[in-house]
Amino acid sequence: MKRNVYLKMMPLAAAREKFLTAFDWPALAGVEEIPTAEALRRVTSQAVFARYSSPAYHAAAMDGVAVQASDTYGASEEHPLRLALGPQAGFINTGQPLPPDSNAVVMIEQVHQPSQGEIELRAAVFPWQNVRKVGEDMVAQELMFPHHHRLGAADVAALLTAGVFRLRVLRRPLVAIIPTGLELVDWQQAQDGQPPAGAIIETNSLLLAGLVREAGGEPLVLPRVGDEFELIKAAVAQALASQAQMVVLNAGASAGSKDFSAHVIGALGEVLVHGITVMPGKPSILGAAQGKPVVGSPGYPVSAWVCFDQFIAPALAAMAGQPAPERERLEVVPARRLASKLGREEFLRVHLGRVGSRVVATPLKRGAGAITSLTRADGLLRIPADSEGLEEGQPAVAELLGPRQRVENTLVVVGSHDVTLDLLGDHLKRLNPELHLSSSHLGSLAGLMAIRDGRCHLGGTHLLDPATGDYNLSYIKRHLKGLPVRLLTLAWRQQGLMVKPGNPKGITSFSDLTRPEVTMINRQAGSGTRVLLDYQLQKLGLDPAVIKGYDQEEYTHTAVAVQVLAGGADVGLGILAAARALGLEFLPLMPERYDLCIPQAFWDDPRVQALRRVLGSEAFRREVEALGGYDARSMGSIAWEG
């Protein structure tokens, strides 16, 4: 069987239009009759009319006395008017039917009873005052809701009041989800230990099922199918024969030798679109078989999410007779230059936070398999297909993935990576659930540049000055000249060499990095750890050019540690906490001071004030020191200001 190729990739807008105009979506969903009391968030399939009027009789709107309005004229506080109880007036409670000879109610607060048989009125009323007339709320046979109205709680109560006890609604779309792949392992099977190399915990079906529920549908997750054409074809045929209104075939949408989704859809029906000019999500397949939509969703989780967001979610909305969902948008500026591939519209997941008058967008991991970029994202930046990216500070539009208030309550940190920053974000949430910390690990020098350009509230930095042996101050004076800032110490931490357990290469010092059988993994240029490494190499007279892996870079201590653990390198320079977290052996070399550089302009910002409170917390200090390799005794102290 030939591999799939993308000779006719379609632009996103054209692909959506072709897919969404290929079906009569509400008719595809079908109709069912349900009890009105169970109709919350359901969508009407036809116009709904009231059976009863409400109220069905003239009713008192408040407690008081039922009267003929003309009998009360002239009554006032200065000139009370007496009426006989019975023939002329009668006490009445809110909601009770109005007596036949009455047309108004005098409030009880304006009634005095001087004797058993009469009352004294201290205010006059006009006809129908303080009365709910027949049909005031609704009249029998009045149109209550049109076709395709999504019912809220008040709507359900109104229908019951109007005597509509059952009604016809559009069925919730049933979506059959078929996971495919021989390498997949059920998450329940993975509970006894990490799967072997090459095995993948299958979670896409749960991701898609959750998205279907959020979109108002009902998921039907079918058994996992191996990478065989006939098996997949049989599974899709069975799903098409079921009650499902849509079939989603997950994975196998690309151009690999075991990617059969397009072939299966073509064999059972028609492939409408295969290949979209987007990233992630390029391999998405849109098809039809037996009058039902069949979607080939890519196997990478972020690609699967984009496919759902752009095609399946609008289709489910159309089945419910609703417009495609739209997100709130706002203008943002990128925290740094964002290069993108020409010819592909990119869905870039970003952190968002207001810094001064601007909302800054900090990019998250871009890989299609990085599901954490979805869990951490505040918004989406859509870089057009005809653009090679966005420049730093260039205005752009982001779609919000959460409430706008989150953007206003986010503390934006750019700079060097430290594992305590995640812990700091957790403590901020404990202090105030509305607070968020957005940390972008671009390196110490990049953090200072972000402060200079007004793209963050503070920067994490541990830049060693080889001339003085001090940290950060000379760099601040050089790069932030004229900008008043304060250096707040986070902690002293232990830097050293991370190696595999047992140290199989016998690495003991920086000199061992030059051995031909040793491969290292480095940090990116501009990071404090890279500055420290280069200083030590220069001090020892070692040439970086002879170090194998010197040009292989990672952006965090934990990323360096995982490369050593996985065998991508023999050694990496990092902190003890990262080595301990991944079970690596650690060779301590020197302590260093990690500071938070905070512009004076943000010192009294409520978000920064909350951060300072956390740094002064004994509970936070204890947790930081428990990570290993930290001395938090000077945490929260001002190392310098100017």
- Residues 165, 279 share a domain: no
> Among 303, 298, 204, which Cα is nearest to 253's?
298
CATH code at 598?
A: 3.40.190.10
Q: Which domain-ending residue is among 359, 388, 408?
A: 408
Q: Which domain-ending residue is among 132, 155, 183?
A: 132
Assign 603 a pLDDT band (cuts: 50, 70, 90): very high
- Residues 164, 147 share a domain: yes
Asked if residue 280 has a cis previous peptide bond (ω within 30° of 0), the answer is: yes
- Residues 616, 474 share a domain: yes
C-alpha to C-alpha distance for 520 and 158, rounded to whole angstroms? 70
Q: Poorest-confidence range of 121-125, 181-185, 542-546, 630-634? A: 181-185
Assign 339 a pLDDT band (cuts: 50, 70, 90): confident
71-109 per-position pLDDT tens digit: 999 999 999 999 999 878 999 999 999 999 899 999 999
CATH code at 300?
A: 3.40.980.10
Side chain identity at residue 6, one-letter code: Y
- Residues 345, 302 share a domain: no
DSSP 38-94: G-TT-BBSS-EE-SS-BSSS-EESSSEEEE-GGGGTT--SSS-EEEEBTTTEEEE-T
Average pLDDT over residues 207-221: 95
DSSP E strands, 500-538: 520-523
- Residues 312, 224 share a domain: yes
**Cβ-Cβ contacts under 8 Å for 92 (sequence gap 6 or more):** 60, 63, 64, 65, 66, 98, 99, 105
CATH code at 125?
A: 2.170.190.11
- Residues 397, 496 share a domain: no
- Residues 303, 163 share a domain: no
Share of the chain above pLDDT 90, in %: 74
Q: Does any domain span residue 427? A: no
448-498 per-position pLDDT tens digit: 999 999 999 999 999 988 888 888 999 999 999 999 999 999 999 999 999
- Residues 249, 186 share a domain: yes
In this prediction, residue 364 carries a pLDDT of 86
Q: pTM of this prediction?
A: 0.83
Q: Does any domain span residue 140? A: yes
Q: Which domain-ending residue is among 258, 292, 319?
A: 319
CATH code at 146?
A: 3.90.105.10
- Residues 383, 350 share a domain: yes
26-70 per-position pLDDT tens digit: 899 899 999 999 999 999 999 999 999 989 899 999 999 999 999
C-alpha to C-alpha distance for 11 and 613, rounded to whole angstroms? 50
Tokens matching residue 22: 């290929």
Q: Does any domain span residue 5? A: no
Q: Look up the domain containing 361 and give its range.
A: 329-408
Q: Does any domain span residue 465? A: yes
Tokens matching residue 440: 């972008």
- Residues 127, 114 share a domain: yes
Compute φ and ψ for 375, nearest 5 degrees.
Answer: -70, -25
Report helix, strand or coil for 580: helix
Assign 343 a pLDDT band (cuts: 50, 70, 90): confident
Average pLDDT over residues 138-163: 94
Mean pLDDT for the chain?
Answer: 91
Compute φ and ψ for 289, nearest 5 degrees.
Answer: -155, 130
Q: Does any domain span residue 64? A: yes
Contact 104, 67 (CB under 8 A): yes
Number of domains in the chain: 5
- Residues 99, 203 share a domain: no
Burial 287-307 (b: 16+ CB within 10 A, else e): bbbeebbbbbbbbbbbbbbbb
- Residues 198, 163 share a domain: no
Q: Does any domain span residue 239? A: yes
In this prediction, residue 585 carries a pLDDT of 96
Compute φ and ψ for 452, nearest 5 degrees.
Answer: -55, -40
Pairing mode of beta strands 48-49, 143-145: antiparallel
Tokens matching residue 640: 């310098």
In this prediction, residue 366 carries a pLDDT of 82
Give me the count of residues in the chain. 642
Q: Does any domain span residue 96? A: yes
Q: Does any domain span residue 475? A: yes
CATH code at 360?
A: 2.40.340.10
